[in-house]
């Protein structure tokens, strides 16, 4: 380097230093992600959920059952062996899975931790209130609703503020009926920030394969959506009112469940009512999460021994933002359990 160039270089360096020192702190970090981290997900290891009732032993048993439910609910097992199915690595069966969700990997430097959504306290009313005593669903933290065309136009932001932290939306019946409000409800629920999923009402007069195909054709495969639901019950109000054997019921259900799990990558949830459960599902399909209708007593009384993920505790709910009655539901766990479960299907 020639000596005559040194003053020019020094002058240039001083000029650059002056420019930098005159910049605002905000301009120095512009474009970089904020280091602030809010509401990082914590594994479900807190106290017994407020919904627990009974003696210490009963509460401990219920908490253990909740942890076990959350460990396998929505976990994806080996996909069914369809001809076009990709090769997948087998995962352990639900009984071998850990009882709590694994600790998430720490975020990469410069990335933000997941932000936990707000849990809205329930302010629903009931046109036909039932006293559940010490096992009241109101002692549990995370409430939600299920809707169909019969709820009409919904004010989703108001419904959310009333305590609807999740919603299951009627999508399809049988092999050819689509709820006319489904796509509007799906889009508006998402816009309002509700965790949302879709359910299918099963017709025993149609083949399971064509019903699964019809659901898949109409329900988006959306990251972060809740697992699909198969609604199985006896229905004497439609043209399909036949009651087939228990063996045929289970056979049809398995075909439907397998196809949906293969397509959506999540284990479906089974919704049912007491009479159908008694006739067909007692002691069956133990590897699936259940959503149980029980509007007069706690599910442990109506469905003894059955682990459950959601409880539909009223069919006569009243809420601002909805005209008429609405079904009310609750999640089996506390807020941390809920966030862990939702985060596990956010990919």
Catalytic residues: 233
Encode burial over 281-318: b for 16+ CB neighbours within 10 A, e otherwise. Answer: beeebeebbbbbbbbeebbbebbeebbbbbbbbbebbb
Are 134 and 54 in contact by the 8 Å Cβ rule? The answer is: yes
Which DSSP category does 278 fall into?
I
3-state SS class at 301:
helix
Tokens (6 digits) for 2: 């020639």
342's enclosing H/E stretch is helix 335-343
For residue 240, count CB atoms less than 10 angstroms from its CB and return exposed for 0-12, middle for 13-18, buried for 19 or more. middle
Are 202 and 211 in contact by the 8 Å Cβ rule? The answer is: yes
Q: Which of 345, 317, 341, 325 minimizes the C-alpha distance to 123?
A: 317
């Amino acid at each position: 380097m020639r000596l005559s160039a040194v003053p020019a270089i020094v002058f240039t360096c001083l000029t650059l230093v002056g420019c930098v020192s005159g910049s605002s702190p905000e301009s120095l970090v512009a474009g970089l992600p904020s280091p602030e981290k809010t509401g990082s997900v914590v594994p479900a290891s807190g106290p017994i959920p407020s919904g627990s009732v009974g003696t210490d032993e009963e509460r401990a048993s219920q908490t253990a059952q909740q942890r076990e439910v959350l460990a396998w609910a929505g976990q994806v097992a080996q996909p069914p062996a369809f001809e076009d199915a990709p090769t997948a690595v087998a995962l352990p069966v639900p009984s071998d899975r850990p009882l709590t969700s694994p600790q998430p990997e720490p975020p990469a430097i410069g990335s933000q931790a997941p932000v936990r959504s707000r849990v809205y306290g329930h302010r629903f009313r009931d046109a036909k209130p039932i006293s559940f005593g010490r096992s009241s669903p109101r002692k549990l933290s995370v409430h939600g609703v299920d809707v169909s065309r019969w709820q009409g136009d919904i004010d989703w932001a108001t419904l959310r503020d009333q305590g609807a932290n999740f919603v299951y939306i009627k999508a399809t019946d049988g092999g050819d009926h689509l709820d006319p409000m489904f796509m509007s409800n799906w889009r508006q629920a998402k816009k309002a920030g509700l965790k949302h999923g879709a359910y299918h009402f099963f017709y025993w007069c149609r083949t399971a394969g064509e019903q699964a195909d019809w659901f898949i054709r109409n329900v988006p495969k959306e990251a972060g959506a809740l697992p699909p639901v198969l609604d199985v019950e006896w229905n004497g109000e439609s043209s399909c009112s036949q009651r087939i054997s228990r063996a045929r019921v289970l056979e049809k259900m398995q075909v439907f469940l397998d196809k949906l799990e293969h397509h959506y990558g999540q284990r479906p949830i089974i919704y049912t009512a007491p009479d159908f459960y008694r006739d067909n599902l007692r002691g069956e399909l133990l590897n699936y999460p259940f959503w149980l209708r029980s509007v007069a007593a706690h599910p442990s009384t109506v469905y003894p021994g059955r682990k459950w993920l959601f409880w539909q505790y009223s069919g006569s709910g009243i809420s601002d933002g909805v005209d008429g009655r609405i079904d009310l539901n609750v999640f089996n766990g506390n807020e941390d359990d809920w966030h862990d479960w939702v985060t596990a299907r956010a990919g």
